[in-house]
Every structure is written in C-alpha cells, then in structure tokens.
A and B are shown apart, each in its own frame.
Chain A
C-alpha cells in the first residue's frame, strides 16, 4: 500500500460541476502539497497545508490531520482545469516529498 493514496485516479465531469479529489496518507506529516500538472508537463504548486483550509479563487483545499486526509475542491469547473492533480506529503523533518499517483481530471465543455 502506498503511503499516499489518491482517489479517484480518473475523473471526467461537465463544465460547471463541483469537483472533489481526495488524498489519504499513512505517515505523520509536516506539510501536504497539492500540485497541478498540465499536459505539457509543467507543474504548479496550488497549496501547501499543515492544518485547516485554504482557498484560492475557485480552488479550496482542506486537511484533517487526525484522519490523515485532505481534499481538493474545484468550484464551477472549467475545461482549463483539465490536468493531473497530485497530492504530496512531507514527512516529519524530511526534505523530500512522497507523491500520490495523481488524479487525471477532464472537464468537458
């Protein structure tokens, strides 16, 4: 079992739908990152969380430390949101990240 599990692996939705991507982890963490990778390969860091909730535009990220679970929500989804979303955690004092396998999101117009 991977230390970081994402669900679903693939998600297709219609424009305007509310999207939720889940991330569960099995290790103690100091931070959790949500990343977005576009088809060209470039990666953008969306959020870095250690507790609570963060919001940026139409994106919301939450984390429950006790349950070792985080969610990424996209409101009013748009085709330009189509990408792979990756959850990654930094464990304790380690520098490196442990990555989930990613969720491929496709938003149809």
Chain B
C-alpha cells in the first residue's frame, strides 16, 4: 500500500537553531499534505494544510514565520522549525492524501530542543 516516509524520526537540537523535517509520499502523488503536532497523551493538532505548488494554509495560532512549510512537489513537503525553543519540543507528524483516497501518515518526528 501507499507509504509516507518522514525523516528524521528523532532530532535533538540546541535552542536557536533551525530544524527541517521531510515528508515524502513514496508511491503516490500527494496533492495535499498535512502537518500535525501532538503533545503527550493528547490528540493530533493540525498545524497547516499544504497543497502542492501553493502557499500553506496555517491554523489559527500557528506562527507561519516560525513553522515554514514548503510543498514544492507532489511527493515532498518540508516543515522547518526556525529558531527553535524548548517549548517547540513535541512530536510532529505529517500525512498525505489525494482526492478520494485515505490518509497516509508518516511515522512522526520527535523533536527535543535543549
């Protein structure tokens, strides 16, 4: 079945640095990719919706200058956490879809900012 690859699975970085997370759809063209954040023991929180070739649509309260999303091709979307702070430490997960198909999720990235 369809597979979404998310990389890295785990990253530790220092406060003030930027971190890029990649989300790739391996065997289908994803017209839409979603980026989520998940706090411990809580459900997924949608950060932004990314359509190929257009600017991402951010949810209320999500800083678009801090969480940069690029969806340059039908198989790749990236989330860059800029000037990371300890409060950005979280589990980030992407999903990819095309019209009429189920959602396919990446395995997530656990970000720790020290």
Contact = CB atoms under 8 A, between A and B. Distances in A.
Interface of A: 33, 35, 40-45, 48, 86, 95-97, 99-102
A8 B104 CA distance: 25
Interface of B: 32, 34, 38, 42-44, 46, 49, 91, 93, 95, 102-108, 110
B91 A41 contact: yes
A41 B107 contact: yes
A103 B43 CA distance: 10
Contact of B102 (A33, A41, A102): A33
Contact of B44 (A40, A48, A86): A86
A40 B32 CA distance: 25
A96 B108 contact: no
Given A42-B107, A99-B43, A100-B43, A48 B102 contact: yes
Contact of A40 (B34, B49, B107): B107
Contacts of A102: 43
Given A41-B93, A45-B103, A45-B105, A86 B43 contact: yes
A45 B104 contact: yes
A76 to B, nearest CB: 24
Nearest to A102: B43
B62 to A, nearest CB: 13
A96 B105 contact: no
B93 A97 contact: no
B110 A95 contact: no
